[in-house]
Amino acid sequence: MRHKSSFKILKLTLKNTNNKILKSIYNIVVDENYLAIISLLNLKSFKRLLLQIIKSNKIFLFVIKDKEKIVGYSIYSDKPSQIFEDANNLKFIIIINLLIKFKFITILNLIIKFLHIDKVLFSKDKKKFYNKTLNLSYLAIHKKYQSKGIGKYFVKETLKRLKEDYNKKIVTVDTKDPNTKNFYLNKCKFSLLGEKIELFKSTSVFYKKI
């Protein structure tokens, strides 16, 4: 494995994106983000969502490459709800994808999220703080490149760019997975903000000053 700094980090735009790149990200999502809603989309719907994300000036999609191979991706949003606000015209397609795969609990959790019931345990100040932060909405590294410091390096460098280029000061991230919680707390030095409520599980919310 080469030194981490030799990996190339790229912010995707319409000019530097093609079907091969979108397919590579889709494969990583399906393999590594299996708990995420976007992993349940078919390839066609996923590509439509990513293209809308790339077009948005409030959402930032990065990839990290080992030579020409995409080995990870991350999506940051101006605020936690930004992706689904920008992809409003795709909500019906997303719901259909979930129904086809019988993901009824996921649909109910989406409703809970849209109604803001998930943050019932947050104080008024925490809700206000959370709703205004940059949100690390999605992140994944190819299995072959995990546990080598690549994910930590990727987060560090993308946050550095977002601070320098877009004046972002605080980032939050939501996660259910115990291993991912450990990654943000111990590797990336995030702090716990609180717990969000969903059916049959809870989601931890972490934050970090950039």
Condensed to tens digits (0 to 9), the pLDDT of residues 123-145 reads: 999 999 999 999 999 999 999 99
pLDDT in the model for residue 27: 97
pLDDT band at 205 (very low <50, low <70, confident <90, very high): very high
pLDDT in the model for residue 1: 52
Token representation of residue 184:
């943000």
pLDDT in the model for residue 184: 97
pLDDT band at 102 (very low <50, low <70, confident <90, very high): low
pLDDT in the model for residue 77: 96
| Structural class in CATH, domain 4-117+135-167 | alpha beta
In this structure, are residues 166 and 66 in contact, taking their beta carbons and an 8 Å threshold?
Answer: no
Q: Work out the percent of the chain whose per-residue pLDDT is above 90.
A: 66
Beta-carbon contacts of 40 under 8 Å, excluding residues fewer than 6 positions away, are 97, 98, 101, 103, 106
pLDDT in the model for residue 150: 95
184 vs 196: CA distance, rounded Å: 17
173 vs 134: CA distance, rounded Å: 9
pLDDT in the model for residue 169: 96
